[in-house]
Chain A
Amino acid sequence: MKFKLITIFISVFVIFISCDKLLPPAPEESEILDGPMENLSYEQRLQFLRGDDAFNEVFTKESGLGPIFVANSCASCHSGDGKGHPFTTLTRFGQDDTTGNKYLNQGGNQLQHRALPGYKPETLPEGASHSDFIAPAVTGLGFLAYLTDESIIEMSDPNDANGDGISGVVNWIEIPDYINPSTSAISQNGKYIGRFGKKASAYNLLHQTVGAYNQDMGIASFFNPIDVYSNLEIEPEVSNQTIYDLDFYLHTLKAPIQRNQNNPEVIKGKVIFGQINCGSCHKETLRTGYSPIEALSNKEFHPYTDLLLHDMGSELDDNYTEGSALTSEWRTPALWGLGLSADSQGGQYYLMHDGRARSIEEAILFHGGEAERSKNLYLELNKEDKNSLIKFLKSL
């Protein structure tokens, strides 16, 4: 009996001293998208954490949700700060040319297809052109935010002067009154460069954040106090400080970290990426200008985008647009974090603007227009080279 008791107590002791073996290990930093960037001050880390709370806040009827909405929290659309799932696809509607949205008085430009009990959700007005947008990943946005306007214009080639078939253009947009353009902002006829969103129709992250509170969750703010259901001005349902905290959080989420950089296949895939001219739009390396957040100031980063609009061909033309973009034009999406997309999309890929591509290869094959030549070059690759390219893209 004593022997058995001793065995039991030894077992308990073994479990105690094996705590670290029994507790689940942390995933590698490069395997997750969320988390703050390095070199933030103590105060900045606190604001990041407050922003993290705001990002994960679940809105209810009591706290202002809706009454019509798409999602009830930021994290619903950007799980783990990654790409969204078709469950929270945003349907934009009402604009089919560059003259503006013709359905603003009928709920445009975004459909709120869910509603609190007792309310009717919106339905698409008859005849309205529309497009579905999968929510993007939100990591590394601070770097894109502090890329200078000058750098973006430098990358543009609206008349294809270099004859490479790629003619990236800027989306010149009107900005709302609450936006203060940066001191280095470049304007054209009172319009500014849009850089966020599928059509580059948001000027900065505050613009994007206020729009998402209002159009995605039906949360009125000081910046946009219009209730999406009644179209009337109402009391703010979220504080300015919360919006600033969330804006700061989005600026200071770390950039995705590439994995397996030294894998020979990944290295080979990167060479192929360059050889078939993917990098003409998906620019690997950019550099921020000045930022009041020191960790973002004058930093080189690797997003694989040029933030410009490109004609992607008829297959991706949904006959819907925003700002001065044509209906067939889409902003080059950043490719960093691509390999981790499935981890926030329910274990499957939903790529391109509306999630129609279920794999990276499918996404390549949906490229048309200015990217047609690169797609054809991809099709000419042998199986091994294609695999290397995909492996490289998955490493991002």
Chain B
Amino acid sequence: MKKTYIYTIKIIALLLLISITEVISQTDTVNQKLNMDAVYDRPFLKLDKLPLAIGGYLEANSQFSQTDGVNEGISFQARRLTLFFSSTIADRIKFLSEIEFEDGTKEINIEFAAVDIELFPLLNIRSGIVMNPIGAFNQNHDGPKWEFVDRPLSATTIIPSTLSNVGVGLFGKYYLSNWIFAYEAYLTNGFDDKIIDNEENRTSLVAGKKNIDKFDDNFGTLPTYSGKLAIRNRKIGELGISFLNGIYNKWQIDGVRVDNQRYLSILALDFNTTLYNRIDIIGEYSKLWINIPETYSKQYGNQQKGFYLDIIANIYKDKVLSWDNAKLNIGVRVEYVDYNIGEFTETNTEIGDEIWAIVPTISFRPVSTTVVRFNYRYQSQVDFLYNPASKSGVIQLGISSYF
């Protein structure tokens, strides 16, 4: 095992060394806009007199994986086909929607469908199915923007990206020299109690967002609040702090109170920056607190935390075949999640349910909107009881492209 680590580190070191000797422009992972702009920062096609612009992206990959020696073989996966439709309805009134087909047609979701009304740059109203502004990845999750086949664990399991809900809110930006200040604040429907009653056998916001009635019924009956403050310096980078709070249980039925109001809160910190105009660093930390009855199973933890850190370096930029600005990037993601923070009261020992992973990547971008990615994922996972870790290795080759 130690040899595998050393071998992986050597390859990463070699690739990073190559990158340092090259002077080229920045990669595509981070652009000069804020994460909250990502929803409109996409390529759209607009035909002359049509009021509608359309776009989308596709993500597909092949994967070879093995856990504790059990080989799961090679599989081909069509992870996402996402369609965007946008329209400028009138001056200062815009509409945008994002419809996603995941794993073929296993899941079809409206991830975003909202009307934006601009009163001032600092005051816009957004209403419809909105993405809760929690973390950066949830807002900026399009496959072609990332150098990794898998989405970050913390941003998909602790914050269940893509997290969207029906609601209404405000957003705005303020520019001052090299600085941009931005905010978003929404009231939306929330999660349901599957968060602590699911077959994943752990606290799972992913399970709690699957409620098919969420677009016409608020399970917790009171609005979920989510908001974000972001600050960006054009020369330094972006820093965001976001928060979500809401009730996830059915505490009253037909006016009869049947349980206490049980809240969950998520805090997320995100940042991104570009060094030497060619190395992008992107990170996000998130923490979840959730009120769970003391007499329920500790299998469902009342706190979770996790982070990911991506470092991407552009090592080659030149004409390749007919692509004038083809780029070759290398990088690495380090990520960690703890799905159950706490101790067993029976033994005063730490509860497990944690995952560590390191993911070296090589990506090739013939154009900025298309990326071919080669990833190797090495993952160590301990179960709830903190038994010896199971080790997984995953090799992935995938493509993601806007169209």
Interface residues of A (CB under 8 A from B): 1, 4-5, 7-8, 11-12, 14-16, 18-19, 21-27, 57-58, 60-62, 65, 69, 71-73, 76, 79-80, 85-87, 89, 113-118, 120-121, 343-348, 350
Contacts and interface: CB of A to CB of B under 8 A. Distances in A.
A281 B7 CA distance: 51
B262 to A, nearest CB: 7
B362 interface: yes
Given A24-B66, A345-B385, A11 B346 contact: no
B392 A24 contact: yes
B101 to A, nearest CB: 27
A73 B201 contact: yes
B88 interface: no
Contacts of B194: 60
A26 B318 contact: no
A21 B201 contact: no
Contact of A5 (B196, B258, B328): B328
Contacts of B70: 26
Contacts of B298: 87
B385 A79 contact: yes
Nearest 7 Cβ contacts at the A-B interface: A26-B69, A24-B391, A23-B393, A86-B346, A346-B385, A23-B66, A58-B201
B395 A114 contact: no
Contact of B199 (A18, A22, A60, A85): A60
Contact of A4 (B22, B249, B262): B22
Given A24-B393, A58-B200, A117-B249, A348 B328 contact: no
A114 B69 CA distance: 36
27 contacts: A4-B21, A8-B362, A11-B15, A15-B11, A22-B7, A22-B378, A22-B395, A23-B393, A24-B4, A24-B67, A58-B200, A60-B198, A65-B197, A76-B299, A79-B383, A86-B344, A87-B346, A115-B295, A117-B193, A117-B259, A117-B292, A120-B295, A121-B295, A343-B388, A344-B385, A344-B387, A346-B347
Interface residues of B, number: 61
B11 A1 contact: no
A21 B378 CA distance: 12
A187 to B, nearest CB: 40
A267 to B, nearest CB: 27
B25 to A, nearest CB: 15
A25 B391 CA distance: 8
B68 interface: yes
Nearest to A347: B386
Contacts of A11: 11, 14-15, 362
A1 B316 contact: yes
A118 B4 contact: no
In this complex, which of A89, A117, A350 has the most chain B Cβ atoms within 10 angstroms of its Cβ? Answer: A117
A347 to B, nearest CB: 6
A7 B18 contact: yes
In this complex, which of A24, A72, A114, A121 has the most chain B Cβ atoms within 10 angstroms of its Cβ? Answer: A24
